[in-house]
Structure 1
Amino acid sequence: MSIPLPQLINAGAVSWTGALPAQVDAIVAQTSAQLIRFNQTSEDAARRTLLAHLLNAPLPATSAINPPFQTDFGPHTFIGEHVFINRDCFFVDLGGITIEDHVLLGPRVMLISVGHNEDPAFRRDLVLKSVRIKKGAWLGANVTVNPGVTIGENAIVGSGAVVTHDVPANTVVAGVPAKIIRPIRQN
């Protein structure tokens, strides 16, 4: 699949006009069909082949995505080594999502890299800000990460948190909106 939109990753404000909506819609339709097959396939090799097409890159052999999995776009998600993505996760990746090595995502984590313009006259326009989950981070069940947020290395995000700002490395955050609770304990 040829991806005509790589310049959109972390592009900031993007006008939802011209050929762009049709280009994005075509990729979204193809992604939706691939997701149906992925989520209904039990054989690991077949799932990995489908993910390679969906993400426009192979999933590392040391990483796993448990179905069901959802993404609205697909090719703007980058997944490192030794990553575990649990069931029912949803990625909105047009603005770019990077998941570094050794990351754990609990069930129903949502990573959102797309917002909309606050001005009602331009509300259909997109505001694209990439999400980055740094090495060794752990996001608990039902966490939502908003556009433009970086989760720091080895950070823990407590279940149900809504992360609206960057999370420092080696900290535990929780709540709505997520706030720093304490530093990581090390034995």
Structure 2
Amino acid sequence: MTAEDVIAGFFDDSKNTLPVLMYADELYQEALRICMEINTRYHEPAELRKIMSRLIGKDVDESFRLFPPFYTDFGKNISIGKNVFINSGCHFQDQGGIEIGDGALIGHNVVFATINHSLDPSENRKNYYAPIKLERNVWVGSNSTILSGVTVGEWSVIGAGSVENDENDENAETSDQTLPESSAGSTLIAYFSATGTTEQVAEYIGNILDTDIYEIVPQVPYTDEDLEYYTGGRADLEQDDPSARPAIEGGVENMDQYDTIFLGYPIWHGQDKCA
């Protein structure tokens, strides 16, 4: 018996034999146990990805990020692409199938509901299942609900608090800031990262846009002591004195090949904004 047998039974009552129904109940209880495991204590991101992989029955990409709590009552009909972020409090009712495309951003308390019921009072306990699909780079705002049968097109933005019950719903708008896929080599992300945070952001954007990435490295690496502020040390000196900027190791070859360059760097202590 497999999860696929259970999923087939959602769409075809003739396949809902007693063994299938009993196994479905086992999977429901397993999903509840794993959700409790996710939600009741802190997990490092890598550990959380392993638990999520157990929950959905397939490996999630190392670029996947989840902020618990997270809830699902089945789990085995969820598919998650690369560079997906799911914020806290989301509910995935996935019996009908939930497919999350690459680059999706899902806000707080979003509900995916793949089950519907008949409006006929005599049949209102009968379930009807239909999948939900988010194509590439969809952004779903907080407290939104996406109902069964909806496909959200790539680069669409679902406004916070929306209810999506049709793939052409007016709340699903293609962003005016659509970022076209760059041809190989035409876009560069150059970044400096002191502690690794800017590096993660640069790699996240680079994976979505398929860009070249270049790390800016100082000739003399920073130590933990260098990054301690208000001590008169290196970080204070370089921030306050333009003539004390560090020398850079190496450089970008063939800079002329790039039409667009994104420059990333940390917000240094004491600054209220960065370029």
Instruction: Tell whether the structures are fold-level matches, with TM greater than 0.5.
Output: yes
SS of 1:78's partner is strand
Query: Does 2:29 align with 1:41?
Result: no
SS of 2:92's partner is strand
Taking a change above 3 Å as real, the CA distance of residues 41 and 17 of structure 1, as seen in their structure-2 partners, is same
For residues 101 and 109 of structure 1, what CA distance do their matches in structure 2 show?
Answer: 18
1:53-85 CA-to-partner distances (Å, cap 9, x unmatched) read: 110011110111110000111010000000000
Amino acid at match of 2:177: Q
CA contact (8 A) 1:88 1:109 kept: yes
CA contact (8 A) 1:101 1:136 kept: yes
Match of 2:68 in 1: 67
For residues 103 and 39 of structure 2, what CA distance do their matches in structure 1 show?
Answer: 23
Count of residue pairs brought into register by the alignment = 175
CA contact (8 A) 1:14 1:128 kept: no
Amino acid at match of 2:145: T
Match of 1:171 in 2: none
SS of 1:5's partner is helix
Match of 1:82 in 2: 83
Query: Does 2:177 align with 1:186?
Result: yes
CA contact (8 A) 2:68 2:88 kept: yes
Post-superposition offset of 1:8: 4.8
Match of 1:164 in 2: 165
For residues 18 and 105 of structure 1, what CA distance do their matches in structure 2 show?
Answer: 36
Larger Cα Rg: Structure 1 or Structure 2? 2
For residues 8 and 158 of structure 2, what CA distance do their matches in structure 1 show?
Answer: 30
Query: Does 2:30 align with 1:30?
Result: yes
Give 1:76-155 correspondences, 5 Å limit: 76-155=77-156
CA contact (8 A) 1:102 1:136 kept: yes
Q: 5+ unaligned residues in a row in structure 2: which ranges?
A: 179-275
Amino acid at match of 1:40: T
Q: RMSD of the TM alignment (CA)?
A: 2.4
Q: 5+ unaligned residues in a row in structure 1: which ranges?
A: 168-177
Q: Which has the higher contact order (CA 8 A, sep 6+)?
A: 1
Give 1:11-22 correspondences, 5 Å limit: 11=11, 14=13, 19=18, 20-22=20-22
1:91-131 CA-to-partner distances (Å, cap 9, x unmatched) read: 00000000000000000010111112333333222101000
For residues 124 and 87 of structure 2, what CA distance do their matches in structure 1 show?
Answer: 33
Taking a change above 3 Å as real, the CA distance of residues 14 and 122 of structure 1, as seen in their structure-2 partners, is farther
CA contact (8 A) 1:99 1:134 kept: yes
| TM-score, structure 2 as length reference | 0.58
Larger strand percent: 1
For residues 7 and 181 of structure 1, what CA distance do their matches in structure 2 show?
Answer: 30
CA contact (8 A) 1:41 1:47 kept: no
Taking a change above 3 Å as real, the CA distance of residues 162 and 99 of structure 1, as seen in their structure-2 partners, is same
1:21-62 CA-to-partner distances (Å, cap 9, x unmatched) read: 433222111110111111123222332222111100111101
For residues 121 and 38 of structure 1, what CA distance do their matches in structure 2 show?
Answer: 38
Match of 2:6 in 1: 5
Taking a change above 3 Å as real, the CA distance of residues 22 and 124 of structure 1, as seen in their structure-2 partners, is farther
Match of 1:174 in 2: none
Larger helix percent: 2
